[in-house]
Amino acid sequence: MDYSQKISERQWNLPEKGELESRREETYIDDIIQKDHIQRKLLEHMDGIRTVFDGGAGSGRFPALPAKQGCRVTHFDISQPMIDKAKELAEAAGVSDRITFVKGAHEELNNYPNKSFDLVMSFDAPISYTYPNQNRVIENLMRMAKKRKAFSVSSRLGTLPYLCNPVQKTQFILDEKCADPFVQWSVANCEKMIRDFHFDKQNAERVMTDELERILRGFGVRNIQLSGPGAYGARFRGRFCSG
């Protein structure tokens, strides 16, 4: 088993993960904006889409939208707590009959045939949590898509805000008294983080190269457009796809 897979299993299978991730929009204002932005982009490009694969779908922040549009969605994730929470939320949203839940690792997508889904999406998962296998994972996700692709990354390019601002996430906290352990840690350590902060310009410039764009160009995706921080859209063979 790849070590990226082992790390993901250990980190994402913690029992409280599903609940915490499902509360992102209650906890951070930037997550509200990110979700709204991605949903709007998805809605703009749903024509002709009947089947959807969401890789690293987490607690189900995005699969419900295509399911509500009548699509059949495969919710794929390495974490059972995430899948359990997503099932609960899909039931509540009345879309569980249109979503198939699959527990699996991005590193093991080889059995899915080429072009098996109209839309393949993967937000904040393919690069962030499969390093150093991100090229192979993205190549697999791309070949599984028949019409469109929508990917985003967080921690690799998303490291940049942290390199420039030690309390990047802290400033987006909605309720400083909420029980989320990371919120409590951030509030308790805010002053220390600012005091000890050192801006490393050389390191910041190194990570500014957008890895997702480079990987997609390497696989022949053209006309790539930035559609949000860390997210790209592209016209490919005359149709919109995003990478």
Nearer to ligand SAM among residue 105 and residue 119 (C-beta): 105
Q: What are the Cα distances from residue 27, in Å, to 16, 140, 208?
A: 15, 33, 27
Judged by CB under 6 A, the number of residues near ligand SAM is: 19
- CA pair distance 167, 191, nearest whole angstrom: 9
Residue 78 is a binding residue for ligand SAM (CB under 6 A) = yes
CA dihedral 73, 77, 79, 80 (to 10 degrees): 30
Stretch that binds ligand SAM, among 42-50, 51-59, 157-165, 209-217 (CB under 6 A): 51-59
Nearer to ligand SAM among residue 78 and residue 183 (C-beta): 78
Residue 118 is a binding residue for ligand SAM (CB under 6 A) = no
Q: Least distance in Å: CB of 20 to ligand SAM?
A: 10
Q: Least distance in Å: CB of 31 to ligand SAM?
A: 8
Nearest residue to 9 via CA among 104, 96, 73:
104
- CA pair distance 243, 233, nearest whole angstrom: 6
Residue 213 is a binding residue for ligand SAM (CB under 6 A) = no
Stretch that binds ligand SAM, among 45-53, 123-131, 174-182, 190-198 (CB under 6 A): 123-131
Q: What are the Cα distances from residue 37, in Å, to 40, 57, 229?
A: 5, 17, 10
Position among 106, 147, 148, 149 found at the interface with ligand SAM (CB under 6 A): 106
- CA pair distance 15, 239, nearest whole angstrom: 41
Nearer to ligand SAM among residue 129 and residue 232 (C-beta): 129
Residue 127 is a binding residue for ligand SAM (CB under 6 A) = no
- CA pair distance 124, 28, nearest whole angstrom: 16
- CA pair distance 56, 124, nearest whole angstrom: 8
Q: Least distance in Å: CB of 55 to ligand SAM?
A: 6
Rule CB under 6 A: which residues touch ligand SAM? 5, 8, 12, 56-58, 61, 77-79, 82, 105-107, 123-125, 129-130
